[in-house]
Structure 1
Amino acid sequence: MERPKIRLTLIDRKGPCGCHRGHRVGDTFDFDTERGRLCPMAMHVAFPYIDILRYGGAIPGQPEGTAVFRCPDVDVINVFKIEKIEP
């Protein structure tokens, strides 16, 4: 059985500074092939959500197959959306 793909998209920025990694609103990343391009601080926050979604769980209060989270850098506060894409 093939596991679902995971796509991460930067959907908003709330902090006063630009991203130190150079990410911009609209950037999209395939978790399996491009995770090394994603900021390590954001990836640290994203991974538990990715694991939950990929293996059949759901995030309370989020539409099915999705999760929204933010990076932990208080100066940047990038907001990302994770989407599970069924094969």
Structure 2
Amino acid sequence: MKKPGIQITLIDQKGTKGCHRGHKIGDSFDFDTERGKLCPMAMHVAFPYIDILRYGGEIPGQEKGTAVFACPDVDTLNVFKIERIDVLDDDSP
């Protein structure tokens, strides 16, 4: 089995101000090819969850293969969902 993919999607905004990076609800990023488009503050929070999910772990209290987190900007508080996308090898049955 190949390394699973990781998709990060903005699912909600709890803060009172818009995102300084311009992210909007529904924006989605492939961790491997688009991580540079994600706000560095959000990425800083996301990385431990990504590492856990990508290498077989699960986040207690979260749906299997997912993690929900918020960016640390108190005025914005974007809420993101990380999803593990399992990819099979071409040789798999």
| TM value normalised by structure 1 | 0.99
Aligned to 1:37: 37
What stretches of structure 1 move > 3 A for 4+ residues in a row?
none
CA distance in 2, matches of 1:43, 1:10: 12
- Structure (1 or 2) with the larger CA radius of gyration: 2
Q: Output the CA distance in 2 between the equivalents of 1:85 and 1:44.
A: 21
User: Deviations 1:6-51 (Å, cap 9, x if unpaired)?
Assistant: 0000000000000000000000000000000000000000000000
**Alignment root-mean-square deviation, CA:** 0.5
In structure 2, give the amino acid aligned to 1:13.
Q
Hey, what does 2:90 align to over in structure 1? none
Contiguous gaps of at least 5 residues in structure 2: 88-93
Name the residue aligned to 1:63.
Answer: 63
Give 3-state SS (helix, strand or coil) of 1:51's partner: helix
Structure 1 stretches lacking a partner, 5+ long: none
How many residue pairs get aligned? The number is 87
Identity among equivalent pairs (%): 76
